[in-house]
Amino acid sequence: MILEVKSLSKAFGGLVAINNLDLGVIEGEIVGLIGPNGSGKTTLFNLIGGVITPDSGEIKFNDREITGFKPHIVCQSGIARTFQLTKPFAQMTALQNVMIGRMYGSEPVRSMRQAEEECEEILEFIGLGGRSLSVAATFGLVDRKRLEIARALATKPKLLLLDETMAGLNPTEMEDALQLVKAIGDSGTTLIVVEHVMKAILDISSRLVVLNYGVKIAEGKPQEVVQDKKVIEAYLGEQ
């Protein structure tokens, strides 16, 4: 098990965001995390990523406890994440953006030259090869998402958390994104992917986990989970 979440709970004021959650992720999986709005998906990412600390429960990564660790330590341990609303380093070039990941991530490189070379390759891989010296602020939505993933990949993660990568993409872009995610999975990185676009998540996930009101209501093979009555009710309730 690369990631183990046990009895995790988090409340904000009176609102319970995550309720006694157990989750296990096996190395090499692509886990799809779905659920209606407000079900706690991003909160879970924030908890794993160390942005917020849980009220109770524990998070273990490769059998090491990482509960409450600061985000940069979590990253250095080998967990990377993207954000729902992309957070690029706007006034820095694409290359510099990715270099941050490479130079501060889980296998940090100290030489600027080496980082530059390797990050050019990462940008090439992700499809931003020609724009490495462009300032991130000039990027449109799709390229910003690509950049965010490139930066996360540069940290050499064992586990990558993708938060709603498909949001706002047209069908062609979505297809490209899917291919990219599959390629990342194929290279050995474990993935937890949060998505609202059903078609996409069914396509790439080896396993689906469904949250509602911070509670896991279903888990298993995508095709089965999607037919689960509880899941359907949860989504209909959202209507």
Partner 1 sequence: MGKRKEAKLASNWKQLSASGGIIGLLVLVPLITTRTDVITWFYLTLLYIALSQSWNLIGGYAGQLNLGHAAFFGAGALAARYIWLHFGLPLPVAILGGGLAATIFAMIIGLPAFRLKGIYFVIGTLVLAEILRLVFYTILPEADVMPMKLLGTYSLIPRYYLSLLIAVLTVVIIYWISRSRLGLGLMSIREDEDAAEASGVDTQRYKLLAFTISTFLAGLAGGIYAYYSAAFRAGGLFEPVWTFDAVIIVFVGGVGTIVGPIIGSVFFVLLKQILSLYLPGGIHVAVFGVLFIIVVLFLPGGLIELMTKFRKRTSVGEHLH
Beta bridge partners of 15: 12
Residues 6 or more apart whose CB falls under 8 angstroms from that of 157 comprise: 75, 78, 79, 80, 105, 106, 189
For the bound state, the minimum distance from the C-beta of residue 215 to partner 1, rounded and expressed in Å, comes to: 26
Binding status of residue 135 toward partner 1 by CB under 8 A: no
For the bound state, the minimum distance from the C-beta of residue 79 to partner 1, rounded and expressed in Å, comes to: 9
Element (H, E) at 163: strand 159-163
Beta bridge partners of 207: 31
For the bound state, the minimum distance from the C-beta of residue 29 to partner 1, rounded and expressed in Å, comes to: 22
Q: Give the range of 61-69, 104-112, 190-198, 220-228 binding partner 1 by CB under 8 A.
A: 104-112
Burial state string for 69-82 with b = 16 or more CB within 10 A and e = fewer than 16: beeeebbbbbbbbb
Whose CA is closest to 42, among 105, 85, 97? 85
Binding status of residue 144 toward partner 1 by CB under 8 A: no
Q: Between β-strands 3-12 and 15-25, what pairing exists: parallel, antiparallel or unpaired? A: antiparallel
Among 37, 91, 170, 223, binds partner 1 (CB under 8 A): 91
Under 8 Å between Cβ of 166 and 177: yes
Minimum CB distance to partner 1 smaller for 129 or for 220 = 129
Minimum CB distance to partner 1 smaller for 39 or for 96 = 96
Among 9, 19, 76, 206, binds partner 1 (CB under 8 A): 76
The site for partner 1 (CB under 8 A) is made up of 49, 51, 70-72, 75-76, 80-81, 83, 87-92, 96, 99-101, 103-106, 108, 110, 112, 115, 151-152, 155
